[in-house]
């Protein structure tokens, strides 16, 4: 199908693309097929299938990037697209012979979801729905969403790289509402891996539903969250979204190169507590953020971003790496062929520390234990970030006591990272989606559980 353009076609298109003033050109071909199912009100509301295919061409001339794409894959349209980006003259770029490479296999698919029938998939949603509804009679509404996807990509560039990859992805998400009198609360849980149907035998869909219901029901009794500076304990797993926002985005190569990130020029400097080591690793088997090669054909790798509190690395795509005279790190990603690559995170997590999990709470006189964080946002220039807290409890005299609602966490990334005073052992990653410049890509975040000595908690109780 589409990704199977012949070598001759690829070479010809790269030739056309480089016939102007470009010194680098690449092609990206994508074919993605997605099946989606939605359940709500005890009904399968809809079932869908979609396919997307196309090619994009990029030419880089010094600092300038030109980009074009097409979803018509006939020879004439492909050539028109390549010609659209080959402006000017006096090309400095030469075409190296294409050498086909194999992408590293990062995924262990036993039963491809493309070969599983819709009825079997619908059953996954019914089980998740049942798990949530059976948890507690106060669960009043449950919605479940599911998709599976296979993304096939091909990358070829003027430096001779030529690589294809197949990227499976699936997701099961449950949102539950619990009602008690006039109080309404929500809970949310999601599971996503790059695997086949076997994943749903390992992680029971019912348990995903139960977890969403548990969160909604536990928050029914919640009081208004306190406000002001408190000691905050972050949970293992999804708590890593704090790192993603507070430091991850600021370490992306485009922001760093333009000198607009808080971390610009900070390589080798102390930017966090000595307990903090942060890694981006796109090679972890079956993780939602993993890839064999990135969307520019660069093999993914493990990049240490912060080591023992010192800034040790940034995340690079090809373009920003070239401009900064460094090696790309396999972080050039794009949502679809309609999007140009950007330096993005893959699986970003804090390395395990040495504290026992119970030590995080010990000697906290009054603080906040966060169990579930919602989404967050960061201003990479100032480093200021915000998170919504979905499930949290007060810590009083070293013990978890009452649930609290409506809390928001706010702070400055580098300041907060310096206040990490305990890191637990045992990092776990959790699946999410990351948005940047209007492009969403699948990622994981992770951490082992940690404590921040003081952080602003915004609530409604003064």
Partner 1 sequence: MIVDLEDRALADRLIDRAVRRGATEAEVFAQRGERTHIHVNRGRVENLTRAGLKGVGLRILVGGRLAFMSSSDFSEKTLDDLVEETISLAAEASPEPYNAMPEMAPAENVSDLDDPELAEIPLEKKLELTKALDARVFEEGPEIQNTEGAIYSDGSYVNLIVNSKGLFHTWRESFASMVVSPVAERGGQKQVAHYWTSARKFRGLKAPEEIAAEACRRAKLLLGGEAVPTEKVPVVMDSRAGTALLEGLIHAVDGENIYRGRSFLADHLGRKIGSEMVNIVDDGTIPGGVGSSPVDGEGVPTRRKWVVERGVLSSYLYDTYTARKARTVSTGNASRESYAARPVIGALNFYLEAGERTREEIISEVDNGFYVLRTMGGGPNAVTGDFSAGAAGVWIRDGKLSHPVAKVTIAAGMLDMLLGIDAVANDLVLDSATATPTYRIREMTVSGT
- Give the chain's end-to-end CA distance (angstroms, integer): 61
Helix orientation angle between 118-133 and 205-218, rounded to the nearest 10 degrees: 30
Q: Which is nearer to partner 1, 430 or 455 (CB)?
A: 455
Window 116 to 155, contacts with partner 1 (CB under 8 A): 118-119, 121-122, 140-141, 143
DSSP 347-382: EEEEPP-SB-GGGGTTT-SEEEEEEEEEEEEEETTT
Q: Which is nearer to partner 1, 99 or 260 (CB)?
A: 260
Is residue 365 exposed (0-12), middle (13-18) or buried (19+ Cβ within 10 Å)? Answer: exposed
Number of residues binding to partner 1, judged by CB under 8 A:
79
Angstrom CA distances, 32 to 3, 74, 330, stand at: 10, 18, 21
Q: Which is nearer to partner 1, 3 or 428 (CB)?
A: 3
- Give the three-class secondary structure for 260: coil
Question: For residues 314 and 273, what is the distance between their CA atoms, to the nearest angstrom?
Answer: 18
- Residue 263 binding partner 1, by CB under 8 A: no
Question: For residues 135 and 18, what is the distance between their CA atoms, to the nearest angstrom?
Answer: 61
- Residue 432 binding partner 1, by CB under 8 A: no
Window 186 to 215, contacts with partner 1 (CB under 8 A): 186
Rule CB under 8 A: choose which of 8, 43, 325, 365 binds partner 1. 43
Q: Which is nearer to partner 1, 52 or 270 (CB)?
A: 52
Rule CB under 8 A: choose which of 405, 418, 422, 436 binds partner 1. 405
Minimum CB distance to partner 1, residue 19 (Å):
17
Which span (46-54, 103-111, 152-160, 364-372) binds partner 1, by CB under 8 A? 46-54
Question: For residues 458 and 456, what is the distance between their CA atoms, to the nearest angstrom?
Answer: 6
Say which DSSP state 436 is in: E
- Residue 64 binding partner 1, by CB under 8 A: yes
Residue in the structure block whose two tokens are 């972890």: 284
Rule CB under 8 A: choose which of 412, 443, 446, 448 binds partner 1. 412
DSSP 267-334: TTSB-S-TT--EEEETTSTT-TT--SB-TTSPBP-EEEEEETTEE---B--HHHHHHHTS---S-EE-
Minimum CB distance to partner 1, residue 207 (Å):
23
- Residue 96 binding partner 1, by CB under 8 A: no
Minimum CB distance to partner 1, residue 87 (Å):
9
Q: Which is nearer to partner 1, 35 or 170 (CB)?
A: 35
- Residue 184 binding partner 1, by CB under 8 A: yes
Q: Which is nearer to partner 1, 207 or 408 (CB)?
A: 408
- Residue 63 binding partner 1, by CB under 8 A: yes
- Residue 50 binding partner 1, by CB under 8 A: yes
- Residue 379 binding partner 1, by CB under 8 A: yes
Rule CB under 8 A: choose which of 112, 313, 357, 374 binds partner 1. 374
Which span (67-75, 101-109, 207-215, 349-357) binds partner 1, by CB under 8 A? 67-75
Half-sphere exposure of 453 (CA within 13 A, CB side): 8
Angstrom CA distances, 215 to 28, 52, 174, 176, 459, stand at: 42, 36, 11, 8, 19
Residue 120: which residues within 8 A CB-CB, separation 6 or more? 197
- Residue 411 binding partner 1, by CB under 8 A: yes
- Residue 258 binding partner 1, by CB under 8 A: yes
- Residue 29 binding partner 1, by CB under 8 A: no
Which span (100-108, 232-240, 256-264, 301-309) binds partner 1, by CB under 8 A? 256-264
Window 318 to 337, contacts with partner 1 (CB under 8 A): none
Is residue 65 exposed (0-12), middle (13-18) or buried (19+ Cβ within 10 Å)? Answer: middle
Minimum CB distance to partner 1, residue 381 (Å):
4
Which secondary-structure segment (H or E) carries 81? helix 75-84
- Residue 408 binding partner 1, by CB under 8 A: yes
- Residue 312 binding partner 1, by CB under 8 A: no
Q: Are 337 and 69 in contact (CB under 8 A)?
A: yes
Q: Which is nearer to partner 1, 163 or 389 (CB)?
A: 389
Minimum CB distance to partner 1, residue 101 (Å):
27
- Residue 462 binding partner 1, by CB under 8 A: yes
- Residue 384 binding partner 1, by CB under 8 A: yes
């Amino acid at each position: 199908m589409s990704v199977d353009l012949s070598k001759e076609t690829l070479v010809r298109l790269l030739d056309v693309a480089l016939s102007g003033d470009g010194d680098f050109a690449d092609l990206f071909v994508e074919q993605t097929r997605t099946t989606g199912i939605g359940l709500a009100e005890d009904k399968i509301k809809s079932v869908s299938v979609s396919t997307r295919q196309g090619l994009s061409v990029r030419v880089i001339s010094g600092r300038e990037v030109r980009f074009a794409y097409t979803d018509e894959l006939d020879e004439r349209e492909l050539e028109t697209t390549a010609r659209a980006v080959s402006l000017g003259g006096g090309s400095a770029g030469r075409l190296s012979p294409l050498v086909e490479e194999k992408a590293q296999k990062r995924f262990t698919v036993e039963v491809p979801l493309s070969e599983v029938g819709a009825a079997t998939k619908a059953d996954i949603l019914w089980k998740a729905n049942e798990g949530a509804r059976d948890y507690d009679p106060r669960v009043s509404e449950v919605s479940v969403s599911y998709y599976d996807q296979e993304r096939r990509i091909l990358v070829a560039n003027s430096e001779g790289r030529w690589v294809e990859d197949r990227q499976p992805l699936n997701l099961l998400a449950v949102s539950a509402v619990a009602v008690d009198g006039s109080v309404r609360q929500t809970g949310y849980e999601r599971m996503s891996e790059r695997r086949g149907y076997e994943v749903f035998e390992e992680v029971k869909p019912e348990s995903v539903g139960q977890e969403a219901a548990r969160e909604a029901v536990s928050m029914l009794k919640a009081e208004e969250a306190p406000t002001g500076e408190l000691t905050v304990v972050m949970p293992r797993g999804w708590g890593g979204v704090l790192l993603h926002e507070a430091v991850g985005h600021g370490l992306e190569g485009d922001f760093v190169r333009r000198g607009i990130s808080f971390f610009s020029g900070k390589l080798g400097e102390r930017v966090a507590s000595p307990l903090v080591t942060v890694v981006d690793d796109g090679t972890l088997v079956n993780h939602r953020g993993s890839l064999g090669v990135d969307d520019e054909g660069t093999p993914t790798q493990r990049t240490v971003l912060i080591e023992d509190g010192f800034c040790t690395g940034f995340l690079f795509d090809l373009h920003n790496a070239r401009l900064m005279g460094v090696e790309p790190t396999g972080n050039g990603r794009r949502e679809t062929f309609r999007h140009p690559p950007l330096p993005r995170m893959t699986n970003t997590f804090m390395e395990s520390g040495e504290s026992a999990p119970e030590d995080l709470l010990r000697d906290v006189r009054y603080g906040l234990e966060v169990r579930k964080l919602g989404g967050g946002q960061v201003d990479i220039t100032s480093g200021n970030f915000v998170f919504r807290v979905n499930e949290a409890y007060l810590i009083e005299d070293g013990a978890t006591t009452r649930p609290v609602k409506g809390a928001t966490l706010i702070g400055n990334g580098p300041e907060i990272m310096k206040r990490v005073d305990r890191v637990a052992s045992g990092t776990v990653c959790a699946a999410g989606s990351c948005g940047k410049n209007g492009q969403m890509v699948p990622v994981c975040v992770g951490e082992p559980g940690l404590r921040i000595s003081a952080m602003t908690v915004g609530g409604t109780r003064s």
